[in-house]
Amino acid sequence: MNVLDDSALLAYLQGEAGHERVRQLLLDGATCGAANWAEVAQKVQATGADWQLARSLLFSYSLAVEPVTADDAERAAAMWRAGEGLSLADRLCLALGDRLDVPVWTADVQWKERPGVSLIR
């Protein structure tokens, strides 16, 4: 099991660098936090792309969408640092990886020094 953040899922949907790695992670079993799922939906819809098609494609891999727990929210709040550049959704994604004790995959190079995080490219 792996946690995928929105940048990884969007890279897959858009055929960007790293999309093959994301496809393999989806085949191996992956989850996405609800906050990141909302970001994927918003960004796909903002481009005018067919959200239902994108949603169906991602769910065809048995992608799980994990709800945010109170502990996740508190862990994400504790991660906040002024000027660090991590959004609330980013921190919730990292908290989900901590809770599930699985790797978090992203396309965001700002995360590369964080423990438990791997880059898709």
Report pLDDT digits (tens) over 50-85: 999 999 999 999 999 999 999 999 999 999 986 677
- Cα 66 from Cα 3, distance rounded (Å): 10
Locate 35 and state its tokens. Answer: 């906050």
Position 19, amino acid: H
Q: What is the reported pLDDT for 84?
A: 77
Position 75, amino acid: R
Q: What is the reported pLDDT for 83?
A: 67
- Residues of the chain under the 50 pLDDT cut: none
Q: What is the reported pLDDT for 58?
A: 98
- Cα 15 from Cα 34, distance rounded (Å): 23
Q: What is the reported pLDDT for 53?
A: 98
Q: What is the reported pLDDT for 105?
A: 98
- For the chain, which domains are there? 2-119 (3.40.50.1010)
The residue behind tokens 């989806």 is: 26
